Amino acid sequence: MLQAEIKSLFKEDISILIKVPNSAKHYLCDCGEASLLTVKEVQSVSALFISHTHIDHFSNFDGIFRHQIGSGEKVVICGPKNIHRQIEARLKSYTWNLIDENAIEYEIREIVSEQEIKVYKIRPPHWNLELIKTQDFLFEDEYLNVSFAILDHKTDSIAYLFKEKDSVSFNENGSRFKKGKWISELKAAFERSENDKEIEIEGAVYQASELFHLLTLNEGCRLGVIMDHAADEGNYEKIKTVFENADRVYIETFYKDEDREFAKTNHHSYASASGSIMKACGVKEAIPVHFSRRYTEIDRLEIETAFYRAFGKD
């Protein structure tokens, strides 16, 4: 089960850290102020997912790379159109004469459209962008893959869905055999649908499909992060396509219902609108995030109450 932690305090902007259980790999959604984000966590971030580059989502990018440089790792950064230029500008604004070219490598994936992702490489000390290739998917590693929707916030705002890979587990109690390397062979045969694969256990040979009942397929969880977006039908169609039946979604809920006119002017969402779209998606769990900094704790409670009433789980 993927875990997500909000790393920003109430009056701070927004940054959400996603962790994979039993793995040291983390993924960071947006780079707003994040007092709860530790240096160790930053150093474990293998990919950054930026929704858009309004200052409240991008101001702490310097704080992030401050702790990544020197790791020698490759770190992926996904973001909207022009993200590569904005990263380049930020990196080039410092002096790097003491930094080695192998100190880090950023791979930037610019989301041009649903089907077109441009991949760039950028490294110290000169930080010159190099276009590597164009691909039709955003992100996949050994633990998860990431799909997205390009929402409208008077600029592109990318909403990300993290889909944990399905896993296969062995039912130890249902087995009369001794454990051994045959279990991993059986799992591999199951994953590749090789029903006829021969599996040897304690000197006897079995057909893989005869043993599949010893395995259970665990469906990976689907976790979403939807940042700033206008509360309108165009965005809702896209949100429904990507986030339908997701297990848990964090969604921007910048305004109280009584301030919905501000939401409209600023291409943002408000409490009952965010709750309703989560209900329409059939999301199992929804969490409102990223409230206007003008609000007090009491306003926040008001937002949450209206959100969960609209979501249908108050």
Q: How far apart are the first and last CA of the chain?
A: 24
- Looking at the Cβ atoms of 211 and 263, the one nearer to Zn ion is 263
- Looking at the Cβ atoms of 164 and 228, the one nearer to Zn ion is 228
Q: How far is the CB of 184 from Zn ion (least distance, A)?
A: 46
Q: Which two tokens stand for residue 108?
A: 């930037």
Q: How far is the CB of 215 from Zn ion (least distance, A)?
A: 44
Q: How far is the CB of 54 from Zn ion (least distance, A)?
A: 4
- Looking at the Cβ atoms of 56 and 259, the one nearer to Zn ion is 56
- Looking at the Cβ atoms of 56 and 185, the one nearer to Zn ion is 56
Q: How far is the CB of 43 from Zn ion (least distance, A)?
A: 26
Distance from C-alpha of 218 to C-alpha of 168, rounded to nearest angstrom: 6
Q: How far is the CB of 227 from Zn ion (least distance, A)?
A: 6
Q: Which two tokens stand for residue 277?
A: 């779209």
**Is the distance from CB of 84 to CB of 122 less than 8 angstroms?**
yes
Given the rule CB under 5 A, which residues bind Zn ion? 54, 56, 228
Q: How far is the CB of 128 from Zn ion (least distance, A)?
A: 29
Tell me whether the omega of the peptide bond preceding residue 80 falls within 30 degrees of 0, making it cis: no
The number of angstroms, rounded, from the C-alpha of 109 to the middle of its chain's C-alpha atoms is 14
Q: How far is the CB of 14 from Zn ion (least distance, A)?
A: 7
- Looking at the Cβ atoms of 160 and 190, the one nearer to Zn ion is 160
Count CB-CB contacts under 10 A for residue 125. 14
- Looking at the Cβ atoms of 19 and 54, the one nearer to Zn ion is 54
Q: How far is the CB of 160 from Zn ion (least distance, A)?
A: 15
- Looking at the Cβ atoms of 69 and 287, the one nearer to Zn ion is 287
**Is the distance from CB of 291 to CB of 300 less than 8 angstroms?**
yes
Taking the CA of residue 80 as centre, how many other CA atoms within 13 Å lie in the half-sphere pointing to its CB? 21
- Looking at the Cβ atoms of 59 and 175, the one nearer to Zn ion is 59
